[in-house]
Amino acid sequence: MGLIVVVLGGALIVFIIMGTPICMALGAAASVGILAFMRNSQFSQLVSIAYAQSTSINQLVAPLFVLMAEFLAEGGVAGDVFSVLSRKFKGFKAGLAISATLTSTVFAALCGSSSATTAAIGRISIKEMIDRGYDPAFTCGVVMAGGTLGIMIPPSMPFVLFGIITEASIAKLFMAGVIPGLTLSTLLCAFAIMRIKLNPDLCKSIESKKGYKPTEEDAAAVIGKIKSLNNNADKKQIEADLSLEEDQIGFRIIYPFLLIAFVLGSIYTGTATPTEAAGVGVLGSFLIVLGTRRMNTRILLQIFAQASKTSAMILMLSMCGLGLTYVVSYLGIASAISEAIASSGLNRWTVMILVYIMWLVLGCLMDPGSMVVLTVPFLLPTLNKLGFDTLWLGVVSTLMVEVGMITPPVGLNLFVTKSITNIPMKDIIGGAIPYLFVFGIALFLLSVFPQMALWLPSKM
């Protein structure tokens, strides 16, 4: 058994070091396992797995949710939500930070991707927050940490992959992420408020910024506005225009909230399967964007192209991941690992902490889907045998992926943020590091109170 583990693990590591895409590396490692330790006829089983996965109606759930997210991301929905929330919290010292986090929470319920959430919220909030006097590093930290909610709050692509690989209920996995996701959102808002209270320099007014000197043009613009407001007719017209614009934006964000309620509500009540709910979600998101008149042929083609790329990646990951799962199961690797850990006498939480550390390291080095597909086939039987629930494992693995998304050297959200700003990478990393404390608290709460993840699915 030791030789089998060394050969399979070594092959996987070699393929990854060579720069092979993770999905291909998983499939290649499965092929090595068959050639070295199984009959060549077993290759037909890999073909059967690939065919079954590519033709299964359950595989539609990921592409449909991806397409829904692309429509809403390109349709400016995040900007509308942020605009409304920023006005609601303008009286708070950390108002824009709270608004950015809550906008991420709402968009996460429509998206399912951490990087997409970070990019969408970052484009509309980072410049405005910095212009309002927020520290650039702090601003990036808020956006990146909020962006991670995209893979905890349903619909979540890691949950879809986890459900496919483990054959767990995707609907129950979605519901398992709701309370932890909302709890994490609350912790992120509270942490932003606390940091600004402890260090007011993180949020200074524009005038208090070092080196700021109003120009003649700035002064002339302000004087011009004051003069125009002195005219009652102009003042009334401006107020009417602003009120109408606010009403229009406020009205537009009702539809995304209704879409969230319908999609998640239909899954929770069992009225629709995740695939059916995703299909309605695509139609709803298309109509929402169409209604805002932000759709054109170029954007539509761009949406379909990006959704196709992401969906193909998810399909390849699930097919190759299941192929490796078959080899691991056939050769008895998972059961051997389980028996070895059980006979070692280690406390189950000692084992779980070691798994946390492994997930943290891998989350820093690869994308969320790859981490789930790479580790779950080996770990799930062992952790189930130790008494850990499959749904709970899906949530904590996703939480550890979230930590990896903002941790150097390869935290994906770090590079997404850098791609949409001119802020130095060292400041982006510096803004992300403090939020590891928040994720540590969330992991502790989930470990001590597993019903945070299990209560809602138990009511389905």
Residue 42 lies in a domain: no
pLDDT at 365: 67
pLDDT exceeds 80 at position 440? yes
> 239: domain range?
220-249
Q: Residue 241 pLDDT more than 50? A: no
- Looking at the structure, tell me whether residues 397 and 449 fall in a common domain: yes
Judge if 234 and 349 occupy the same domain: no
The average pLDDT across 102-107 equals: 89
Residue 231 confidence (pLDDT) above 80: no
> 228 and 105, same structural domain?
no
The per-residue pLDDT for range 51-72, each reduced to its tens digit, is 777 777 777 887 888 888 888 7
Are the CB atoms for 69 and 114 separated by under 8 Å?
Answer: no
Q: What is the arithmetic mean of pLDDT over 77-85?
A: 80
Q: Does residue 136 have a pLDDT over 70?
A: yes
Indicate whether 449 and 339 sit together in one domain.
Answer: yes
Q: Which of 85-89, 234-238, 244-248, 279-283 has the highest mean pLDDT?
A: 279-283
What integer pLDDT is reported at residue 437 of this predicted model?
Answer: 92
Residue 33: inside a domain = no
More confident of the two residues 28 and 291: 28
Shared domain check, 340 and 233:
no
* One domain, residues 77 and 185: yes
- 213 lies in a domain? no
Q: What pTM does this model have?
A: 0.77
Least confident of 145-159, 172-186, 304-318, 329-343: 329-343
pLDDT bracket for residue 311 (50, 70, 90):
confident
Across the range 311-316, mean pLDDT stands at 80
- Residues shown for the chain: 460
Give pLDDT, residue 185: 94
Answer yes or no: is 331 within a domain: yes
pLDDT in tens, 344-376: 777 889 889 888 888 887 776 666 667 777 788
> Within 292-411, where are the H helices?
297-330, 333-344, 348-365, 368-385, 390-405
CA distances from 424 to 87, 140, 301, 408 (A): 29, 11, 33, 14
Predicted local confidence at residue 268, as pLDDT: 84
The pLDDT confidence band at residue 215, using thresholds 50, 70 and 90, is very low
Whether 51 maps to a domain, the answer reads no
Q: Is the pLDDT of residue 248 over 60?
A: no
Q: Is the pLDDT of residue 240 over 50?
A: no
**pLDDT > 70? residue 214:** no
Residues 307 and 419 in one domain: yes
Helix or strand (DSSP H, E) at 117: helix 114-131
Q: Which of 61-75, 81-95, 224-238, 259-273 has the highest mean pLDDT?
A: 259-273
229 plus 261 within the same structural domain = no
Least confident piece of the model among 268-277, 327-336, 400-409, 422-431: 327-336
Through-space distance between the first and last CA atoms of the chain, rounded to whole angstroms: 41
Tell me the average pLDDT across 86-107: 85
| pLDDT: which is higher, 393 or 116 | 393
Q: Which of 99-108, 231-240, 252-261, 448-457 has the lowest mean pLDDT?
A: 231-240
Q: Which residue has the higher pLDDT, 156 or 244?
A: 156
DSSP state of 135: -
Model pLDDT for residues 417-426, shown as the tens digit of each residue: 888 888 898 8
- Burial of 271 by CB count in 10 Å (0-12 exposed, 13-18 middle, 19+ buried)? exposed
Is residue 274 pLDDT above 80, yes or no? Answer: yes
Domain boundary among 197, 232, 249: 249
Q: Reply yes or no: is the peptide bond before residue 409 cis, omega within 30 of 0.
A: yes
- Within a domain: residue 320? yes
**Each residue's pLDDT tens digit, 372-420:** 777 887 788 888 888 899 999 999 988 988 888 888 776 778 888 888 8
Residues 240 and 371 in one domain: no
- Domains of the chain: total: 2
My answer on whether 279 and 306 are in the same domain is yes
Domain-embedded: residue 431: yes
Q: Both 259 and 405 in a single domain?
A: yes
- Structural domain includes residue 286: yes
- Regarding whether 232 and 201 lie in a shared domain, the answer is no
Helix axes 95-111, 136-147, angle to 10 degrees: 30
